[in-house]
Amino acid sequence: GDSVTQMEGPVTLSEEAFLTINCTYTATGYPSLFWYVQYPGEGLQLLLKATKADDKGSNKGFEATYRKETTSFHLEKGSVQVSDSAVYFCALSDNNAGNMLTFGGGTRLMVKP
């Protein structure tokens, strides 16, 4: 079945540091890939998405590129802020399997001033 694997957290960075959160997936067919963010006490918000190989999703300074050859969708940001502290979920939607989301385990990011 489909699965998503994320690096375990927490990831602790100083403000303005470079961020990478690794995400790899296993899926049949050609999935769409997503990053969702969950701030403390809130629901999930879509951060960015990519629907086909080599697509780059970007939003609020975050980027991720759909790499079919390495089955990866790593999240990056060049300069993190304290306000980026949250839990980040990588997810896929397999277009051949009813399009339900499969989530990774989540990675907590803590950014210190």
Residues at the contact surface with another protein, assessed by CB under 8 A: 32, 34, 36, 41-46, 49, 51, 89, 93, 95, 98-101, 103-106, 108
Q: Give the shortest CB-27-to-another protein separation in angstroms.
A: 13
Q: What's the closest the beta carbon of residue 44 comes to another protein, in angstroms?
A: 4
Of the pair 45, 83, the CB lying nearest another protein is at: 45
Q: Which is nearer to another protein, 9 or 17 (CB)?
A: 9
CB of 32 to another protein, least distance (A): 8
Q: CB atoms < 10 A from the CB of 20, how many?
A: 10
Close Cβ partners of 27 (under 8 Å, ≥ 6 residues apart): 2, 3, 71, 92, 94, 102
Phi, psi of 84 (to 5 degrees): -80, -5
Contact status, residue 66 vs residue 19, Cβ threshold 8 Å:
no
